[in-house]
């Protein structure tokens, strides 16, 4: 009887060995497949917009810009500008911001072991919003309007730093204190932002547009500024996937298993906050991506951060590209703020997934 | 017992009302006007203490020479400069009921934006409220005439209106002869991220039409956003940017320096202009100044 049980345990362990390697295969396939989906969706997004340009022309224009291709068509320089100077950089920006928000959300949820955590939990968005609003109402500007993203970025980092300093107890950083400090300081910042918005009635239009998020003026310069920062942040976070897995137990056990918990927390918090700040500074505080994407990935692929983090990056990019495509085509030639779309599409989709998986997971 | 009290109360109120009416009719019958949001307003006698709850209403009060009777304005009222010396009783969307009551107005000139909160609150206090929110020049003329009639300045109002109409005619007569090809494509911008513009049914559309231009956003309705690619693809020959209050104009800098706009004729030919938000954003007699300015920008060869 006992032998039988031992044998069955041994059998399952043995059976899990090939299963583990097939998990590895599964990881590669999942990430590769999602990457492919990202590329295909980006290319399709490139062919639609408020200006109608034939599918074939879009491809010819793109091909004509590839090295070693000598192709001349009958499209106008304006059409070329619409594709390569407006739509293409916009799709790249959307993708970069989507990866940042998706991964930041997954990281925060892992760190706080809290399903309600999102990239804006500890003051990044509120600090960015206050910075941006100050940028809006300052009586001077510099660098062709770069003052708003610059101050939004500074505001985001300043807010998180203050939250961190307030929450720190001696050498440790209790996560509950961090959340509470984040919520309190966030509310304070929101009240200041609301007051500044109210007293500058002539700027309300711009401020509201920024708060709801928009990629309407995305260009290559913006992409070149944010992409390297986001790439570095993502790389650091991906390297800590295993530690995040271990920290799902609890901090004490993780410490006993050899994870330097305090250092890991600070590195992950700093990286996730940095990429969030970079993501929102140009395009505004787009909601829902950071909370819905990691959950969706977890519901489909499970909680292993080695898979969850990269898939949240790709999922974030895909969701935001779909939302932005809707934002610039549904009411063309007008634009709907992308934050409105992410909430409108994201929430029902997420509820549907939740309902589907309810029987097995929850 | 209860019913009797109610009956008595109603009778008393009725009698008071009757007494009020008979007293009024002995002096002058109240005139009835319909304001810009369709309310019927009874006005009796000539108002002596007027409060304006919007910058454009204040401009209209001054235009009719009624400034001596103006006892309260909003914190945004900056034209004419003398308006800044008046008592401030309101922000743009928030009004200070205490200050308004203390100023004892017999006529409050409200704005459309206040119809859900301030106007009912003032009505409840028994204050006469007339709403002026003109959307086009005809409504401006109508408001000028009504306010002129209410305040015993009928003749001044008529003169002002006919003067404004003839100035519009001078511009319209010149632009009427233009063919569609001679009317440059105009993009109007109030904010650049996203690009906010004015479509059909707006005062801006009317002004661009009268000034001999073609609004490239005329397929939009009201004030709306327009995607960058559509704005660039429709290739505006002139871009008009609304000025920003007290600050350097971020939108103007953006359009002049942005790579994506470089392919438009407007940027290539340096025809990106800034216009005064106070003149173009308010519906007042000064809108005719705006029309003349716009006509000069769009057709410098016709208007020297």
Residues A219, B259: C-beta atoms closer than 8 Å: yes
Q: Tell me the C-alpha distance between B281 and A324, whole Å.
A: 31
- Among B191, B225, B257, whose Cβ lies nearest the Cβ of A334? B225
Instruction: State residue B14's pLDDT score.
Output: 47
Q: Tell me the C-alpha distance between A329 and A332, whole Å.
A: 5
Instruction: Give yes or no for a contact between A142 and A136, defined as CB atoms under 8 angstroms apart.
Output: no
User: Is the per-residue pLDDT at B254 higher than 60?
Assistant: yes
Phi, psi of B89 (to 5 degrees): -120, 5
**Angle formed by the axes of helices A220-239 and A305-329, to 10°?**
160
User: Is the per-residue pLDDT at B56 higher than 70?
Assistant: yes
Q: Tell me the C-alpha distance between A350 and A347, whole Å.
A: 5
User: Which distant-in-sequence residues (6+ apart) come within 8 Å of A239 by Cβ?
Assistant: none
- Among A79, A140, A216, whose Cβ lies nearest the Cβ of B194? A216
Which residues on adjacent β-strands are paired with residue B51?
A: B72, B108
Give chain B's count of helices (H) and strands (E). Answer: 12, 14
Record the tokens describing residue A328, joined without a space: 């610039």
Average pLDDT over every residue of B196-215: 93
Instruction: Give yes or no for a contact between A83 and A59, defined as CB atoms under 8 angstroms apart.
Output: no
CA B71 from chain center: how many Å? 20
Give the number of C-alpha atoms closer than 13 A to the C-alpha of residue B62, restricted to the C-beta side. Answer: 20
User: Is the per-residue pLDDT at A323 higher than 90?
Assistant: yes
The C-alpha angle A302, A306, A311, rounded to 5 degrees, equals 70
User: Which distant-in-sequence residues (6+ apart) come within 8 Å of A40 by Cβ?
Assistant: none
Q: Does B75 touch chain A (CB under 8 A)?
A: no
Instruction: State residue B258's pLDDT score.
Output: 87
Beta-strand ranges (E) seen in chain A are none
User: Is the per-residue pLDDT at A12 higher than 60?
Assistant: no
Classify residue A186 by burial, with Cβ atoms within 10 Å: 0-12, 13-18, 19+: buried
Q: Which of A272, A274, A252 is nearest to A262 (CA)?
A: A252
Beta-sheet strand order (sheet of B223-226)? B191-192, B195-198, B223-226
Cβ contacts of A328 on chain B, cutoff 8 Å: 227, 229
**pTM across the whole model:** 0.82
Instruction: State residue A62's pLDDT score.
Output: 87
Q: Tell me the C-alpha distance between A315 and B40, whole Å.
A: 57
Q: Does B181 touch chain A (CB under 8 A)?
A: no
Out of A12-21, A29-38, B225-234, least confident range: A12-21
Cβ contacts of B92 on chain A, cutoff 8 Å: 201
Q: Which of A294, A349, A301 is nearest to A103 (CA)?
A: A294
pLDDT band at A360 (very low <50, low <70, confident <90, very high): low
Q: Which of A215, A206, A226 is nearest to A341 (CA)?
A: A215
Task: List the single best residue of B75, B193, B232 to mutate versus A (max A Cβ within 10 A).
Answer: B193
Q: Which of A227, A241, A272 is nearest to A123 (CA)?
A: A272
Out of B107-111, B112-116, B217-221, least confident range: B112-116
Average pLDDT over every residue of B158-167: 95
Record the tokens describing residue B82, joined without a space: 């003398």
Q: What is the ipTM of this complex?
A: 0.78
Q: What is the pLDDT of residues A287-322, one digit of tens each?
A: 889 988 998 898 888 888 999 999 999 999 999 999
Q: What is the pLDDT of residues A245-276, one digit of tens each?
A: 888 887 778 888 878 888 899 999 999 999 99
Record the tokens describing residue B172, joined without a space: 């319209």
CB burial of A145-154 (b: ≥16 within 10 Å; e: otherwise) equals bbbbbbbbbb
Instruction: Give yes or no for a contact between A226 and A279, defined as CB atoms under 8 angstroms apart.
Output: yes
Q: Which of A286, A82, A204 is nearest to B259 (CA)?
A: A82
Long-range own/partner contacts, residues A179-187 (CB < 8 A, 24 or more apart): A179/A112, A179/A114, A179/A117, A179/A121, A179/A122, A181/A122, A182/A121, A182/A122, A182/A123, A183/A121, A185/A123, A185/A126, A185/A159, A186/A120, A186/A122, A186/A123, A186/A125, A186/A126, A186/A159, A187/A126
CB pairs under 8 A between A and B: 109
Instruction: State residue B160's pLDDT score.
Output: 94
Q: Which residue of A has its CA nearest to B263?
A: A78
| Highest averaged pLDDT of the listed ranges A84-98, A108-122, A209-223, B248-262 | A84-98
Instruction: State residue B21's pLDDT score.
Output: 42
Record the tokens describing residue B257, joined without a space: 């320096």
Instruction: Give yes or no for a contact between B295 and B303, defined as CB atoms under 8 angstroms apart.
Output: yes
Instruction: State residue A21's pLDDT score.
Output: 56
The C-alpha angle B295, B182, B240, rounded to 5 degrees, equals 40
A157 or A69: which leads in pLDDT: A157
Q: Tell me the C-alpha distance between B51 and A225, whole Å.
A: 52
Beta-strand ranges (E) seen in chain B are 31-34, 40-43, 50-52, 70-74, 88-90, 107-110, 129-131, 185-189, 191-192, 195-198, 214-215, 223-226, 238-242, 272-275
Cβ contacts of B220 on chain A, cutoff 8 Å: 333-334
pLDDT band at A26 (very low <50, low <70, confident <90, very high): confident
B140 or A343: which leads in pLDDT: B140
User: Is the per-residue pLDDT at B41 higher than 80?
Assistant: yes
DSSP string, A2-52: HHHHHHHHHHHHHHHHHHHHHHHHHHHHHHHHHHHHHHHHHHHHHT-SSS-
Q: Does B217 touch chain A (CB under 8 A)?
A: yes
Q: Which of A231, A320, A266 is nearest to A122 (CA)?
A: A266
Q: Which of B92, B135, B86, B126 is nearest to B110 (CA)?
A: B92
Strand B50-52 relative to strand B40-43: parallel, antiparallel, unpaired? unpaired
- Among A85, A201, A214, whose Cβ lies nearest the Cβ of B193? A214
Query: Residue A298: which region, alpha, beta or left (left: phi > 0; alpha: psi -120 to 50)?
Result: alpha
| Highest averaged pLDDT of the listed ranges A39-43, A112-116, B44-48 | A39-43
Instruction: Give yes or no for a contact between B303 and B291, defined as CB atoms under 8 angstroms apart.
Output: no
A113 or B109: which leads in pLDDT: B109
User: Is the per-residue pLDDT at B17 higher than 50?
Assistant: no
Instruction: State residue B231's pLDDT score.
Output: 94
Task: List the single best residue of B250, B253, B276 to mutate versus A (max A Cβ within 10 A).
Answer: B250
Average of per-residue pLDDT values in chain A: 86
Instruction: State residue A9's pLDDT score.
Output: 44
Instruction: State residue B28's pLDDT score.
Output: 58
Instruction: State residue B251's pLDDT score.
Output: 86
Record the tokens describing residue A180, joined without a space: 């509470």
What is the number of other CB atoms lying within 10 angstroms of the CB of residue A164? 19
User: Is the per-residue pLDDT at A7 higher than 50?
Assistant: no
Cβ contacts of B252 on chain A, cutoff 8 Å: none
Q: Tell me the C-alpha distance between A264 and A281, whole Å.
A: 26
Q: Does B128 touch chain A (CB under 8 A)?
A: no
Q: Tell me the C-alpha distance between B132 and B110, whole Å.
A: 6
């Amino acid at each position: 009887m006992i032998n039988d049980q031992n044998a069955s345990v041994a059998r399952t362990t043995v059976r899990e060995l090939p299963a583990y390697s097939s998990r590895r295969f599964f990881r590669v396939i999942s990430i590769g497949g999602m990457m492919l989906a990202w590329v295909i969706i980006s290319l399709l997004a490139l062919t639609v917009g408020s200006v109608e340009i034939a599918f074939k022309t879009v491809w010819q224009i793109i091909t004509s810009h590839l090295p070693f291709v000598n192709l001349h068509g009958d499209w106008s320089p304006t059409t070329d500008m619409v594709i390569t100077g407006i739509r293409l950089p916009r799709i790249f920006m959307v993708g970069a911001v989507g990866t940042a928000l998706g991964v930041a959300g997954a990281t925060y949820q892992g760190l706080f072991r809290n399903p309600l955590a999102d990239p804006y939990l500890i003051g990044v968005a509120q600090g960015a919003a206050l910075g941006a609003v100050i940028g809006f109402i300052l009586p001077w500007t510099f660098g062709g309007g770069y003052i708003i993203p610059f101050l939004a970025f500074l505001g985001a980092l300043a807010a998180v730093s203050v939250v961190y300093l307030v929450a720190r107890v001696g050498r440790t950083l209790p996560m509950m204190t961090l959340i509470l400090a984040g919520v309190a300081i966030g509310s304070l910042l929101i009240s200041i932002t609301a007051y500044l918005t109210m007293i500058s009635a002539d700027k309300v239009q711009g401020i509201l547009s920024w708060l709801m998020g928009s990629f309407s003026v995305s260009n290559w310069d913006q992409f070149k500024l944010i992409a390297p920062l986001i790439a570095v942040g993502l790389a650091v976070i991906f390297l800590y996937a295993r530690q995040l897995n271990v920290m799902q137990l609890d901090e004490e056990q993780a410490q006993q298993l050899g994870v330097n918990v305090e250092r890991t927390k600070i590195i992950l918090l700093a990286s996730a906050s940095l990429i969030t700040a970079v993501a929102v500074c140009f395009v505004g505080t787009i909601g829902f991506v950071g909370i819905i994407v990691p959950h969706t990935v977890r519901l489909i692929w499970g909680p292993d951060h080695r898979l969850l983090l990269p898939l949240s990056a790709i999922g974030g990019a895909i969701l935001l590209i779909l939302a932005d495509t809707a934002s610039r085509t549904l009411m063309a030639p007008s634009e709907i703020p992308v934050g409105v779309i992410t909430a409108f599409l994201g929430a029902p989709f997420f509820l549907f997934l939740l309902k589907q998986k309810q029987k097995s997971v929850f | 017992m209860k019913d009797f009290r109610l009956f008595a109360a109603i009778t008393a109120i009725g009698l008071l009302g009757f007494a009020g009416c008979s007293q009024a009719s002995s002096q002058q019958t109240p005139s009835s006007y319909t304001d810009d949001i369709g309310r019927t307003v009874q006005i009796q006698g000539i108002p002596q203490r007027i409060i304006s709850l919007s910058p454009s209403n204040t401009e209209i009060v001054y235009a009719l020479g009624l400034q001596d009777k103006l006892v309260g304005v909003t914190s945004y009222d900056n034209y004419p400069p003398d308006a800044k010396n008046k008592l401030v009783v309101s922000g743009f969307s928030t009004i200070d009921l205490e200050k308004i009551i203390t100023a004892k107005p017999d006529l409050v000139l409200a704005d459309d934006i206040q119809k859900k909160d301030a106007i009912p609150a003032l009505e409840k206090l028994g204050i006469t409220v007339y709403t002026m929110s003109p959307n086009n020049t005809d409504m401006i003329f109508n408001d000028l005439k009504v306010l002129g009639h209410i305040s015993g300045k009928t003749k001044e109002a008529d003169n002002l209106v006919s003067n404004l109409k003839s100035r519009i005619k001078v511009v319209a007569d010149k632009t009427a002869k233009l063919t569609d090809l001679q009317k440059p494509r105009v993009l109007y911008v109030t904010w650049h991220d996203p690009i906010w513009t004015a479509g059909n049914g707006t005062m801006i559309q009317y002004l661009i039409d009268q000034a001999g231009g073609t609004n490239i956003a005329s397929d939009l309705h009201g004030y709306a956003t327009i995607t960058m690619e559509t704005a660039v693809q429709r290739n505006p020959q002139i871009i008009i940017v609304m000025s920003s209050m007290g600050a350097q104009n971020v939108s103007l800098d953006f359009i002049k320096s942005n790579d994506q706009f470089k392919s438009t004729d407007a940027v290539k030919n340096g025809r990106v202009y800034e216009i005064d938000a106070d003149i173009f954003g308010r519906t007042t007699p000064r809108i005719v100044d705006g029309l003349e300015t716009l006509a000069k920008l769009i057709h410098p060869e016709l208007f020297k």
